[in-house]
Amino acid sequence: MASPVRRELFAGVMSGTSLDGVDAVLADFTPGVATCAPLAATHIAFPTALRRELLALQDSGGDEIVRVAHAANGLADLYVHALRSVCLAADVNAHDVVAAGVHGQTVRHRPHEGWTLQVNNPARVAEHAYMTVVADFRMRDIAAGGQGAPLVPAFHAALFGAGVHRVVLNIGGIANLTDLPPAGAVRGFDTGPGNVFLDMWHAERRGEPFDRDGAWARTGTVDESLLAALLAEPYFAQTPPKSTGRDLFNAGWLNASLAGRGVTPADVQATLVALTAATIADAVTAECADAVEVLVCGGGARNAALMEELSRRLAPRVVETTAMHGVPVDQVEALAFAWLARETLAGRPGNIPAVTGARGPRVLGAIYPR
């Protein structure tokens, strides 16, 4: 009698540029099941002090080595909590999980200088979550001359590739897209700000972490002069490969364009919605002109005002969420790192050189055994 096939269970943990918390997912990659079958997912918000420290570490400051070490431990403990929670939700023992892909929290991203930094303590995660951990996904690609980002396009291709020309758009703090033509090379890059300014401005002016459904933005009017000034940023005109983060798109960048303008806070919020939508639409038009579908995931997919603006600017393309194609919008990124962990253990490349600019395909990540 044939032995039963061992389930290929992998977990993925992601905390993105938005700094809203940790997303964890457990999925079944057993051959014959599906490309991946999500079994359970969880979201754990950052404790206020940890979020504040991770945000502060985006900028140079005193005693950084000690502060990063403490933040890494706190973050690792949150990752452990997320992994335990998702295993409990799926009724799965940690020892039955082949590995967890744990990305870490990016606080600096400077591929042009040959480095990127994700705060993490994967050894601590492996020790306390009782599972093999794959981490440090970006540096091998950067060592090979790449941007180290975005790394999700290969997974997007495996999950959403179809007989039509699609774009998969992730709107986290930074927005990135994957171009999936039915025939031809997979491409991808960061388009620019996603939710980073929408959340930042709303938190500063309204005291809440995000503008639910874009309700506040709807009370304002786009300031075309301010929008033009923001769109003049040279990054938007760069051709891929390219990636970005809070190193560029931060409060100082926004305030430089706001200085002396006297734009009302609600109008600024409306203009920031237009900025995110315009830079995404311009990127799709310039680099993925023949696309007929745009599938949106990430926190931005829950912002109704932003989705409406995207639909308007991307027309006549169909704009839908990934949830309409079987994957909840807040699970795609975590699933991608579960998939990348699987590729690492199998010795398969996880990057796409045409996306990152690396000299060739590379196996990504460092492995921390259970």
| In the chain, domain spans | 9-148+330-368, 153-325
> 0.85 exceeded by the pTM?
yes
CA distances to 78, 134, 263, 265, 346 from 10, rounded to whole Å, are 18, 11, 48, 44, 13
Q: In CATH terms, is domain 9-148+330-368 a member of 3.30.420.40?
A: yes
pLDDT of res. 17: 80
pLDDT of res. 196: 96
pLDDT of res. 91: 97
Domain 9-148+330-368 and domain 153-325 have a common topology: yes
- From first to last of its 370 residues, the chain has per-residue pLDDT tens of 445 557 899 999 999 887 889 999 999 998 865 568 899 999 999 999 999 999 999 888 899 999 999 999 999 999 999 999 999 999 999 999 999 999 999 999 999 999 999 999 999 999 999 999 999 999 999 999 999 999 999 999 999 998 999 999 999 999 999 999 998 899 999 999 999 999 999 999 999 989 999 999 999 999 999 999 999 999 999 999 999 999 999 999 999 999 999 999 999 999 999 999 999 999 999 999 999 999 999 999 999 999 999 999 999 999 999 999 989 999 999 999 999 999 999 999 999 999 999 999 999 999 999 9
pLDDT of res. 26: 98
Distance CA 130, CA 10 (A): 13
pLDDT of res. 5: 59
pLDDT of res. 1: 45
Place of tokens 């109704």: 304
Q: What is the CATH number of domain 153-325?
A: 3.30.420.40
